[in-house]
Amino acid sequence: MKAMKILVFFLCCLPLKPALSRHSRYHAIFSLGDSHSDTGNYPRTEAVAFQVIKSLPYGETFFRNATGRCSDGRLIVDFIAEAFGLPYLPPYLAVAKGPHVRIRKGVNFAVAGASAINSSFFSAQKIALWTNDSLSVQLGWFKNLKSSLCTTEQECDEYFKKSLFLVGEIGENDYNFPALSGQSIKQLRALVPLVVGAITRAVSMLIEEGAVDLMVPGQLPVGCTSMFLTVFQSANESAYDNRTGCLKAYDAFFKYHNNYLKQELQNLKRGLERSVLYWMVASRLKKKMSSNKSSNASPVPTEEYRAA
């Protein structure tokens, strides 16, 4: 039988370089996900929504120009790359359309607005997403690129064992768009097995392709986001957390998702040999930021994330 470890990272107390320096052997990073990690794929798609991402103030604080990131500066994936002394990950669609982009040190497949479940599932329910480039599409991009990274099985094994794969954050849009279309939390809970199943299948497929070390982030508590606080505001004070001001019901829902995903990842370890999964939870970070916006003591990046 094969074995696999699952480690837990709480991002709120994660100074990236010290915590990850023991894995300084990483020579490349490959990232799949949504707007939390997209470094520029979305503006290169055929999507028509959210074109504002192409202009300032996106990118104004660090890059000094809009890069396609849903932030005025860097994303967590950028800080992870910095921690390993690697360049910022080029978006896959820039690689696909520009042969001069270097890819040996990693590529970003994430797309803002992407879902874990295939987009056809939502279109059948008349729920419009920003993009059709779901997690399965991103996996297809990786498979298309693989032959440019390595050719023989031995070469791929050597290359990927020195690479870090980030699978997410993804899944939030599978809930956000239905919620904004009027679905109840009870209806959203019915989606959790489908969303988690899509994520764990992606992890399994990457392992089959040669991935060894994978980081799978949990969901942020959307009850703390300005969009949910605005759209789902309540006159009932009991709907809010007294300490953070976040919407308790939606935070509880995403905690349910995280627990479900964590359990499925633990189940996944059965039958695996060499792969290591890093389970990353960011909920305490988000709540800390919500309850203490004026503090400059946080050890995490200060750039502002601008998309829900």
Q: What is the pLDDT of residues 200-232, one digit of tens each?
A: 999 999 999 999 999 999 988 889 989 999 999
| φ, ψ for residue 164, nearest 5 deg | -110, 130
Q: At what angle do helices 172-180 and 192-208 cross, to 10 degrees?
A: 150
What is residue 58's DSSP assignment?
T
pLDDT of 304? 47
Looking at per-residue confidence, does 17 or 192 come out higher?
192
Q: Is the pLDDT of residue 172 over 70?
A: yes
User: Mean pLDDT across the stretch 71-78?
Assistant: 94
Q: What is the pTM of this model?
A: 0.85
User: Cα dihedral angle (71, 74, 78, 82), rounded to 10 degrees?
Assistant: -170
Q: Kindly state the average pLDDT of the residues 271-280.
A: 68
Instruction: Point out which residues pair with 71 in neighbouring strands.
Output: 305
Structure tokens belonging to residue 167: 């699978």
Task: Give residue for tokens 């994978």.
Answer: 214
Q: What is the mean pLDDT of the chain?
A: 84
Confidence grade of residue 14 (pLDDT, cut at 50, 70, 90): very low
pLDDT of amino acid 49: 85
